């Protein structure tokens, strides 16, 4: 049926769109799983676009970067430009309660317990800050700096492990 529409109404700029819409409507429910077990709020938040995302393996030894320029670095300095939407995602590296919170931005993730569980915190970068685990006794080893950087500033890396890199700030 959709093919008939395309062939007999080729001059209308809308016919193609209409055919595509029909196709999507017909094929949509079949392909996309609609039985997402997560609550709507989490699923919706998950789909929010962010400008910058950092991913950590979280253990009592600290937040260890998993991807990008923070890979392998424990409690690295995170950076963002003013106004950017930032996400910090943590993956639990052990069976212990952890979370991640921003002291000044005033946001905190949910707490996770199981190894391999994941959660995140989203915020708009407004000022320098500190990220940390709110579980009592954890902040000592699980915290790091978050810094706003400008156009002229090279992204800061970690405090210790990349001290050899020449980052001009």
Provide the minimum distance between the beta carbon of 15 and Cu ion in the complex, in angstroms, as a whole number: 57
Exactly one of 5, 66, 135, 159 binds Cu ion (CB under 5 A); that residue is 135
Provide the minimum distance between the beta carbon of 48 and Cu ion in the complex, in angstroms, as a whole number: 24
Identify the CA nearest to 118 among candidates 46, 15, 39, 29. 46
Exactly one of 102, 133, 149, 156 binds Cu ion (CB under 5 A); that residue is 133
Identify the CA nearest to 106 among candidates 66, 141, 142, 146. 146
The answer to whether 56 and 68 have CB atoms below 8 angstroms apart is: no
Using the contact rule CB under 5 A, the part of the chain among 41-49, 79-87, 95-103, 153-161 near Cu ion is: 95-103
60 contacts: CB under 8 Å, gap ≥ 6: 94, 96, 138, 141, 142
Provide the minimum distance between the beta carbon of 98 and Cu ion in the complex, in angstroms, as a whole number: 3
Its sign, for the CA torsion 88, 93, 97, 103, is negative
Residues numbered 18-37 forming contacts with Cu ion, rule: CB under 5 A: none
Exactly one of 64, 87, 98, 105 binds Cu ion (CB under 5 A); that residue is 98
64 is an interface residue for Cu ion by CB under 5 A? no
Question: How many residues make contact with Cu ion (CB under 5 A)?
Answer: 5
138 is an interface residue for Cu ion by CB under 5 A? yes
Its sign, for the CA torsion 158, 49, 43, 148, is positive
Q: Which positions touch Cu ion (CB under 5 A)?
A: 98, 133, 135, 138, 142
């Amino acid at each position: 049926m959709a093919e008939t529409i395309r062939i007999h109404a080729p001059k209308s700029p809308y016919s193609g769109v209409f055919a595509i819409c029909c196709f999507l409507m017909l094929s949509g429910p079949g392909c996309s799983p609609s039985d997402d077990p997560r609550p709507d709020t989490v699923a919706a938040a998950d789909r929010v676009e962010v400008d910058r995302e950092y991913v950590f393996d979280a253990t009592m030894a600290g937040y260890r970067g998993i991807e990008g320029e923070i890979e392998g670095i424990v409690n690295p300095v995170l950076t963002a430009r003013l106004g950017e939407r930032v996400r910090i995602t943590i993956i639990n590296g052990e069976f212990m309660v952890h979370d991640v919170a921003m002291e000044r931005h005033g946001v905190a993730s949910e707490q996770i317990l199981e190894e391999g569980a994941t959660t995140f915190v989203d915020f708009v970068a407004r000022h320098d800050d500190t990220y940390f685990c709110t579980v009592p006794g954890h902040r000592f080893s699980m915290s790091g700096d978050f810094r706003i950087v400008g156009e002229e500033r090279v992204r800061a890396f970690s405090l210790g492990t990349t001290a050899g890199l020449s980052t001009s700030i």
